Structure 1
Amino acid sequence: MTGALSGIRVLDLSRVLAGPWASQTLADLGAEVIKIERPGAGDDTRGWGPPFAKDEAGNDTTEAAYYLTANRGKKSLTVDITKPEGQEIVCNLAAQSDVVLENFKVGGLAKYGLDYTSLAKINPKLVYCSITGFGQDGPYKDRPGYDFMIQGMGGLMSITGAPDEAPGGQPMKVGVAVADIFTGLYATIGILSALRHRDATGEGQHIDLALLDVQTAVLANQAMNYLTTGVAPGRLGNAHPNIVPYEAFPSADGYLILAVGNDSQFKSFCEVAGLNDLPADTRYATNRSRVANRETLVPMIRRAMVTKTTDEWIAVLEKANVPCGPINTLDRVFDNPQVQHRGMIRYLDHPVAGKVPTVANPIKFSKTPISGETAAPMLGQHSDEILRKVADLSDEQIEKLRSAGII
């Protein structure tokens, strides 16, 4: 493989989404990622369907779309880590790896001798990343953590959704598992930083990542709104707590996002919308005053917005340099000429499905472009290859392990 991380080997003991998202990102960047899976079962997400990838005859395969989401570019090795022989294989691979990634419960791998303390004795340069719901210490450390509950516990749902007094108002989760995905990205950042430290000093380290920590960290301006005032922000639907007008407005045939980020843009918008008196009104002249007077301003904007279709508004607002956009369904997202031009849809060879679609990594390198991606592997697809080339086992040893159910 080629890429910025070519030559880096990652031993991935994680499953579901947060850990696999991190290891997929590392694979995209050129690392060799060996995905360790349970014989006969594999990653839980293999069965999280429908939908499933189709074979060339149009029939469902065993590969769920969810699994394909986060396992591109990896090699699958099935190993029963509860057996001493399986533990020996993983230790062998860890001794020859740069990174171990896992999301078992706190202390769950220690009984197998696969925790950081044990593997660091074998490979002191190892970067070992643990992902859990609540971290390696603290009163909640032994609790399981899943994205949905973390979005709730971490405050995101308290600021997402329409207010209670609005029709259908209630706390809402985000439509994708953002706590998991953000944790995967923070894990990637942490691993790359630890590899830089390893290269400079020769020492590895343990990275402790918690979904709740990450969800708290990405509250961003909403967290600071609370910390600077002591007042917990509430739900505003599609409105923004610090910018007005910055929300979705009904048009004549749908909805339009209006994202006015400064006073100059507000003046331009008012000129286009026939609201020429508003920029000179002290109640609306600055963003600060517009936030304070949103209850009177927003209804006036709504009355203006329903006079044109979404496409009509986009045409005139873009010409006036006012940020705006439609609310696309996913079919329109992937039909969008900009998305297509940027190569965000790719089709990868798959041993059963022929070709499977994937959403490309968005990083565009000038010197080390992402290339050579492979589809998410079938269960155990690379077991023999890895055991021969990396673990240096003979065909006879491999067959003996397979007969014993170890691989």
Structure 2
Amino acid sequence: MLDLTQVLAGPYCTMLLADMGADVVKIERPGGDLIRSNPPFVDDSGAEAYGGYFQSVNRGKKSIELNFGDEEDREDFLSLVEEADVLVENYRAGTMEKYDLGYETLTEYNPDLIYSSIRGFGDPRTGETDRQGQPSFDLIAQALGGVMEITGQEDGPPTKVGPGIGDLFTAALNCVGILAAVNHRAQTGEGQYVDTGMYDSMISMTERAIYQQSYTGEAPTRQGNSHPTLFPYDAFETADGYAVIAAFNDRHWSDLCDVMGRADLATEYPTTADRLKNREILRAELEEWAAERETDALVDALEGQVPAAPVQTTEEIFEDPHVHARDMLVTVEQPGSDTDVEIAGSAIKMSKTEPRPRGRAPLLDEHREELLGEEAETTADD
């Protein structure tokens, strides 16, 4: 797999595939991926080859540095294309065509090639719009796709979701598309073009808001941690933190009322419709009950009967035995540092071909000799 991507959406997509066993060759622009120099670093940014951002989403890949403006580098690239199964790029629409390296050209060198693009607004080949060619980042995609409008407190501003879901969800969908294309080629021998747009992906992810608009004619907006059609399904402040409670069906509601010692609430508000209609009254009851208990005590009281969980910090995630039992923290080398670092493991678990990070991220141009038979200008000590 040839990976011509940088920053987050593209590298995350190819990282998923690398974890699942793909031989991913990261083809980097002169100077390398823009995020190589992004913090955090363990100790010394001058000594370490890259920061945590690059390490996390480029683990297990190979690297070669090529300049598409250089004829010799273009020829080297085309020699790799001839042997490739899949190519992924996340440039603006038209960028590859500037170098005469677009999909149509590359399929002349490799007719079976699966060519995949991740762009802010998709590619004209699959649906042309006037937004194509515009730059896009996670923030732009979340804003346009309706995510920010439905995220945040009722009386607060539109709010970005913490993780870069405009990139990450797009990347996951693109990975699915690539695997579907690989399956199609295995059955028919045909390669094809796979295109995933960030704006499109956010609309796909906010599917609830789409059907709400269609069914009710009203635009959904922010309502904090609560749910538009379920209650209780919310976060509640405890004596020492926050806990979430999801007791929206009748049985869980009855069990919650039993734990609270409030059988009267179960009797007075027995149905989902009753609870939704009176959600503010019930929220006040739950807030008062939760505020008198520490998080662990509240969760322990509900566990096994009512879905509940603490709102954890990352520090608490690192201490959670479940996380370690599921191999969700993986130790890798940090070049230029005497300390190993931990990155997120693969959430995809398989009984025969277990996905896993396959080593650290590459040094820039580290695999030139392996890929082209040429000695790399950089060394492992650079």
The two structures have a TM-score, normalised by structure 2, of 0.93
Deviation (angstroms), 1:372: 6.7
Superposition pairs for residues 171-186 of structure 1, below 5 Å?
Answer: 171-186=158-173
Q: Give the CA deviation at 1:59.
A: 7.6
Equivalent in the alignment of 2:368? 383
306, 309, 317: which is aligned to 2:294? 309
Checking the alignment, whether the CA contact within 8 Å between 2:141 and 2:199 is kept in structure 1 is yes
2:259 equivalent in structure 1: 272
Give me the whole-angstrom Cα distance separating, in 2, the residues matched to 1:59 and 1:262.
55
**Amino acid of the residue matched to residue 129 of structure 1?**
S
Q: Pick from 135, 151, 155: which aligns with 1:160?
A: 151
Identity of aligned residues (%): 38
Q: Distance in 2 between matches of 1:377 and 1:96?
A: 21
1:42 aligned to 2:56? no
**Structure 1 residue 47, shift from structure 2 partner:** 1.6
1:185-223: CA deviation from partner (whole Å, max 9, x where unpaired) = 011100000011111111111111100000000013232
Partner of 2:13: 22
When residues 29 and 126 of structure 1 are mapped into structure 2, their CA distance, relative to the original with a 3 A threshold, is same
- SS at 2:48's partner residue? strand
Letter in 1 for 2:321: P
- Indicate which of 58, 61, 73 corresponds to 1:71: 58
| Structure 1, 322-331 or 351-360: larger mean CA deviation | 351-360
Q: In the aligned structure 2, how far is the partner of 1:260 from the partner of 1:112? A: 57
Amino acid at match of 2:132: K
Query: Is the 8 Å Cα contact of residues 120 and 136 (structure 2) preserved in structure 1?
Result: yes
Which position in structure 2 is the counterpart of 1:99?
Answer: 86
Long gaps (5+) in structure 1: 1-9, 389-394
Residue aligning to 2:120: 133
| Secondary structure at 1:249 match in 2 | strand
Superposed, 1:109-258 pairs within 5 Å as 109-136=96-123, 137-164=128-155, 169-258=156-245
* Structure 2 runs not aligned, ≥5 long: none
Q: Does structure 1 conserve the Cα–Cα contact (< 8 Å) formed by 2:122 and 2:197?
A: yes
The answer to whether the Cα contact below 8 Å between 1:53 and 1:60 also exists between their aligned partners in 2 is no
1:296 aligns with 2:281: yes
Instruction: Spell out, residue by residue over 1:265-300, the C-alpha distance to the aligned partner (whole angstroms, 9 max, x if none).
Output: 00000011122111221xx21122212221222112
Residue 332 of structure 2 corresponds to residue 348 of structure 1 = yes
Amino acid across the alignment from 1:157:
M
Q: CA deviation at 1:54?
A: 4.3
Q: State how many pairs are aligned.
A: 373
Amino acid at match of 2:363: M
Query: C-alpha separation between the residues in 1 aligned to 2:147 and 2:2?
Result: 32
TM-score by length of 1: 0.88
Indicate how the Cα distance of structure 1 residues 99 and 287 shifts in structure 2: closer, same or farther if over 3 A, else same.
same
- In angstroms, what is the RMSD of aligned CA positions? 1.8
- The residue aligned with 1:368 is 353
Helix, strand or coil: the match of 1:61? Answer: coil
Question: Once the two structures are superposed, what CA deviation does each residue of 1:315-369 show, in whole Å capped at 9, x if it has no partner?
Answer: 11114x1111111110101111111111111112354335332211111111112
1:246 is displaced (CA, Å) by: 0.7
CA distance in 2, matches of 1:278, 1:261: 13
Instruction: Give the drift of 1:181.
Output: 0.3
Distance 2:354 2:337 in 1: 26
1:253 shift after superposition: 2.1
Q: Check whether the contact 2:49–2:335 (CA below 8 A) recurs between aligned residues.
A: no
